[in-house]
């Protein structure tokens, strides 16, 4: 293991301390935000919860799943959807829809 030496000149202890704390706080805020968004997006939803969230029928949800528009996960004999993936799929559908309308 090699030893690395860092030499700091023309900086007071308080300035260095302040810079370190500021950088650590910013990194923690970024990590916290990223962790929260991942936590919310990994929530598993039932078929009914997903259909309600999208304001569609279970038949429409089944068709979208069958057509690989929305990914579904089987857990035993139950079907679940990841909230983040559902939102992402709807955003992609919305983008395609906007392109179709703009070209007509």
Answer yes or no: is 83 within a domain: yes
How many domains are there within the chain?
A: 1
> Mean pLDDT of all residues in the chain?
82
Answer yes or no: is 93 within a domain: yes
pLDDT over 50 at 101, yes or no: no
Give pLDDT tens digits for 40-81: 678 899 999 999 999 999 999 999 999 999 999 999 999 999
Answer yes or no: is 49 within a domain: yes
Of residues 63 and 20, the one with the higher pLDDT is 63
Q: What is the CATH number of the domain that holds 91?
A: 1.10.10
Answer yes or no: is 34 within a domain: no
Answer yes or no: is 76 within a domain: yes
Please report, to the nearest 10 degrees, the dihedral formed by the alpha carbons of residues 100, 64, 89, 72 taken in order: -170
pLDDT over 50 at 100, yes or no: no
Nearest to 56 by CA among 79, 98, 86: 86
Distances in whole angstroms, Cα of residue 84 to Cα of each of 15, 81, 88: 42, 9, 6
Nearest to 41 by CA among 89, 98, 96, 8: 89
Nearest to 83 by CA among 50, 57, 48, 58: 50
- Look up the pTM and report it: 0.54
Answer yes or no: is 72 within a domain: yes
Residue numbers of the domain that contains 79 = 44-103
Answer yes or no: is 17 within a domain: no
Is residue 69 within 8 A of residue 88, CB to CB? The reply is no
Answer yes or no: is 62 within a domain: yes
């Amino acid at each position: 293991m090699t030893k690395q030496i860092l030499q700091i000149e023309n900086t007071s202890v308080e300035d260095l301390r302040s810079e370190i704390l500021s950088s650590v706080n910013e990194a923690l805020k970024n990590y916290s935000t990223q962790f929260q968004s991942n936590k919310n997006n990994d929530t598993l939803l039932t078929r009914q919860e997903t259909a309600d969230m999208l304001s569609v029928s279970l038949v429409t949800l089944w068709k979208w799943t069958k057509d690989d528009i929305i990914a579904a996960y089987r857990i035993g004999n139950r079907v679940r959807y990841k909230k983040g993936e559902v939102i992402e799929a709807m955003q992609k559908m919305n983008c395609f829809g906007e392109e179709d309308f703009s070209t007509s």
